[in-house]
Structure 1
Amino acid sequence: MGKKQPYIPPLIGWLYDLVLWSFSVLIDLFFREVHPRGSWKIPRRGPIIIVAAPHANQFVDSLVLMRVIRSEAHRRISWLIAEKSFRRKFIGLLARGIGSLPVARAMDNLKPGTGTVYLPDPVNEPTLLRGVGTNFEGPGFEKEGTIALPTINGTSHSTAIGEIRGPEELILKKPFKHRDALFQLTGRKDIDGNGNFSGDAKPDSDFKGSKFKVAPHVDQTAVYEAVFARLNAGGCVGIFPEGGSHDRPSLLPLKAGVALMALGTLADNPDCGLKIVPCGMNYFHAHKFRSRAVIEFGNPIEVPKEIVEQFKQGDRRESVGALLDIIYQSLVAVTVTSPDYETLMVIQAARRLYNNKGKKLPLPMVVELNRRLVKGYAHFKDDPRIVSLRKSIVNYNKQLRILGIRDHQVQYAKFSIVQVIATLIYRLGKLALLTIGTLPGLLLFTPVFVATKYLSMKKSKEALAASSVKLQGRDVMATWKLLIALAFAPAVYAFYTAMFTYWTYRNRIQGFVPDWVPLWLVVMIGVVIFPTVSFAALRIGEVGMDIVKSLRPLVLSLNPSSANTLVKLRAKRAMLAQQVDEAINTLGPELFPDFDAARIVTDPFREVRHEGVKSDLPTIKPPRDEEMEALPSAEPLPRNESFHNLANIGFFSTRPPSRNRSRSSSAGPRPGSRHGLKPLSSMTQKDPLEDVSSRIRDAMRERGERRRRRSEDGSWDMASSGPGTPSSGEEIRKDL
Structure 2
Amino acid sequence: MPFDAYDGVKLGFKLVADIFFREIKVSGTHNIPKDDPCIFIVAPHANQFVDPGMVIISNPRRFSPLMAQSSFKRKVIGEAARALNAIPVIRPQDLATKGSGKLLSCRDNKILCGVDTEFKQRVGPRDLIVLSKTLQFEVVKVLSDTELELKSDLSSEAIEMISNGAAYKIIPHIDQSVLYEKVHERLDKGESLVIFPEGGSHDRSEMLPLKAGFAIMALSAMAQNRNLNVKIVPVGLNYFHPHRFRSRAVVSYGVPITIEPELVEKYAKGGLEKREAISSLLDYGYDGLKSVTINAPSYDVLMIIATARRLYKPASEHKLRIDQVVELNRRFLLGYKYFEKDERLVDLAQRIKAYNNTLKYFGLRDHQVARTQTTMYSAAPILLSRILKLVFLAIFGFPSVLINSPLIILTLFISQKKQEEALAGSTVKIAARDVLATWKILVAMVGIPTLYGFYSFLLFLYLWQHEYNYAFSLSLLVWAVLPFIQYICGLVLENSIDIYRSLRPLFLSLSNPDGAAELRIMRENLSDIITKFVDENGSTAIKDFDISKFDKMELKEQIKTRSILPQVNVSAFSIQKWFDDRQLFNLGGSSSDDSESE
CA distance in 2, matches of 1:467, 1:651: 40
How much has 1:250 moved relative to structure 2?
Answer: 0.7
Preserved contact between residue 441 and residue 535 of structure 1 (Cα < 8 Å): no
Structure 1 residues 147 and 373, CA gap change in structure 2 (3 angstroms) = farther
1:514-537 Cα distance to aligned partner (Å, 9 max, x none): x6x533441343134312220111
Higher relative contact order (CA 8 A, sep 6+): 2
1:161 is matched with 139
Indicate which of 383, 390, 402 corresponds to 1:431: 390
Residue type of the alignment partner of 2:462: W
CA distance in 1, matches of 2:520, 2:277: 54
Larger Rg: 1
Q: Secondary structure of 1:270's match?
A: coil
Residue type of the alignment partner of 1:271: N
Establish whether residue 24 from structure 1 lines up as the match of residue 19 from structure 2. Answer: no
CA distance in 2, matches of 1:422, 1:100: 58
**Which aligned pairs between 1:590-601 and structure 2 lie closer than 5 A?**
590-596=540-546, 599-600=549-550
1:287 is matched with 243
Preserved contact between residue 334 and residue 542 of structure 2 (Cα < 8 Å): no
2:532 is matched with 582
CA distance in 1, matches of 2:250, 2:318: 19
Q: Secondary structure of 1:420's match?
A: helix
Residue type of the alignment partner of 1:232: D
Preserved contact between residue 136 and residue 164 of structure 1 (Cα < 8 Å): no
CA distance in 1, matches of 2:345, 2:135: 34
RMSD: 2.8
Q: Secondary structure of 2:257's match?
A: coil
How much has 1:575 moved relative to structure 2?
Answer: 2.0
Establish whether residue 324 from structure 1 lines up as the match of residue 282 from structure 2. Answer: yes
Residue type of the alignment partner of 2:283: D
Structure 1 residues 120 and 411, CA gap change in structure 2 (3 angstroms) = farther
Residue type of the alignment partner of 1:519: A
CA distance in 2, matches of 1:160, 1:328: 27
How much has 1:453 moved relative to structure 2?
Answer: 1.7
Establish whether residue 566 from structure 1 lines up as the match of residue 520 from structure 2. Answer: no
Identity %: 36
Residue type of the alignment partner of 1:493: Y
Structure 1 residues 278 and 118, CA gap change in structure 2 (3 angstroms) = farther
Q: Secondary structure of 2:293's match?
A: coil
Establish whether residue 63 from structure 1 lines up as the match of residue 40 from structure 2. Answer: no
How much has 1:111 moved relative to structure 2?
Answer: 4.0
How much has 1:585 moved relative to structure 2?
Answer: 1.6
Q: Secondary structure of 2:42's match?
A: strand
Preserved contact between residue 184 and residue 210 of structure 1 (Cα < 8 Å): no
Preserved contact between residue 120 and residue 130 of structure 1 (Cα < 8 Å): no
Q: Secondary structure of 1:58's match?
A: coil
Q: Secondary structure of 2:341's match?
A: coil
Structure 1 residues 226 and 572, CA gap change in structure 2 (3 angstroms) = same
How much has 1:504 moved relative to structure 2?
Answer: 2.7
Indicate which of 362, 382, 387 corresponds to 2:321: 362
Preserved contact between residue 24 and residue 559 of structure 2 (Cα < 8 Å): no
**Which aligned pairs between 1:99-110 and structure 2 lie closer than 5 A?**
99-110=85-96
CA distance in 2, matches of 1:263, 1:16: 28
Unaligned runs of 5+ in 2: 564-598
1:556 is matched with 508
Q: Secondary structure of 2:4's match?
A: helix
1:84-105 Cα distance to aligned partner (Å, 9 max, x none): 2223343223322321111111
Preserved contact between residue 26 and residue 557 of structure 2 (Cα < 8 Å): no
Unaligned runs of 5+ in 1: 1-11, 123-127, 188-203, 509-514, 603-616, 621-649, 660-736
Preserved contact between residue 441 and residue 536 of structure 1 (Cα < 8 Å): no
TM-score scaled by length of structure 1: 0.71
**Which aligned pairs between 1:711-726 and structure 2 lie closer than 5 A?**
none
2:409 is matched with 450
Preserved contact between residue 119 and residue 148 of structure 2 (Cα < 8 Å): no
2:558 is matched with 654
CA distance in 2, matches of 1:393, 1:121: 54
CA distance in 1, matches of 2:539, 2:156: 44
Preserved contact between residue 117 and residue 129 of structure 1 (Cα < 8 Å): no
Most deviating of 84-93 and 579-588: 84-93
Structure 1 residues 129 and 582, CA gap change in structure 2 (3 angstroms) = farther
1:587-634 Cα distance to aligned partner (Å, 9 max, x none): 21111233237633x7xxxxxxxxxxxxxx9xx9xxxxxxxxxxxxxx
Residue type of the alignment partner of 2:12: S
Residue type of the alignment partner of 1:340: S
CA distance in 2, matches of 1:76, 1:392: 48
How much has 1:555 moved relative to structure 2?
Answer: 2.3
Residue type of the alignment partner of 2:128: T
1:529 is matched with 481
Preserved contact between residue 82 and residue 104 of structure 1 (Cα < 8 Å): yes
**Which aligned pairs between 1:114-133 and structure 2 lie closer than 5 A?**
115-116=102-103, 128-131=110-113, 133=115
Indicate which of 197, 205, 211 corresponds to 1:255: 211
1:404-454 Cα distance to aligned partner (Å, 9 max, x none): 221111223322222222221121122122223323333332322222122
CA distance in 2, matches of 1:555, 1:597: 36
2:81 is matched with 95
How much has 1:568 moved relative to structure 2?
Answer: 2.6
How much has 1:135 moved relative to structure 2?
Answer: 4.0
Indicate which of 66, 70, 86 corresponds to 1:84: 70
Structure 1 residues 119 and 543, CA gap change in structure 2 (3 angstroms) = farther
1:616-664 Cα distance to aligned partner (Å, 9 max, x none): x9xx9xxxxxxxxxxxxxxxxxxxxxxxxxxxxx9565256377xxxxx
1:472 is matched with 431
Most deviating of 271-280 and 136-145: 136-145
How much has 1:559 moved relative to structure 2?
Answer: 2.8
Establish whether residue 415 from structure 1 lines up as the match of residue 374 from structure 2. Answer: yes
How much has 1:460 moved relative to structure 2?
Answer: 0.8
CA distance in 2, matches of 1:56, 1:544: 29
Structure 1 residues 500 and 102, CA gap change in structure 2 (3 angstroms) = same
Structure 1 residues 81 and 658, CA gap change in structure 2 (3 angstroms) = closer
Structure 1 residues 242 and 158, CA gap change in structure 2 (3 angstroms) = farther
Q: Secondary structure of 1:596's match?
A: coil
Preserved contact between residue 58 and residue 475 of structure 1 (Cα < 8 Å): yes
1:486-537 Cα distance to aligned partner (Å, 9 max, x none): 11100111112222233333347xxxxxx6x533441343134312220111
CA distance in 2, matches of 1:140, 1:342: 46
Q: Secondary structure of 1:306's match?
A: helix
CA distance in 2, matches of 1:211, 1:518: 64
Q: Secondary structure of 1:312's match?
A: helix
1:241 is matched with 197
Establish whether residue 488 from structure 1 lines up as the match of residue 447 from structure 2. Answer: yes
Indicate which of 224, 228, 232 corresponds to 2:184: 228
How much has 1:455 moved relative to structure 2?
Answer: 1.2
Residue type of the alignment partner of 1:571: I
Q: Secondary structure of 1:162's match?
A: strand
Q: Secondary structure of 1:299's match?
A: coil
**Which aligned pairs between 1:554-703 and structure 2 lie closer than 5 A?**
554-560=506-512, 563-596=513-546, 599-600=549-550, 651=555, 653-654=557-558, 657=561
Q: Secondary structure of 1:252's match?
A: coil
1:50 is matched with 40
Indicate which of 466, 471, 475 corresponds to 1:519: 471
Establish whether residue 352 from structure 1 lines up as the match of residue 310 from structure 2. Answer: yes
Structure 1 residues 320 and 653, CA gap change in structure 2 (3 angstroms) = closer
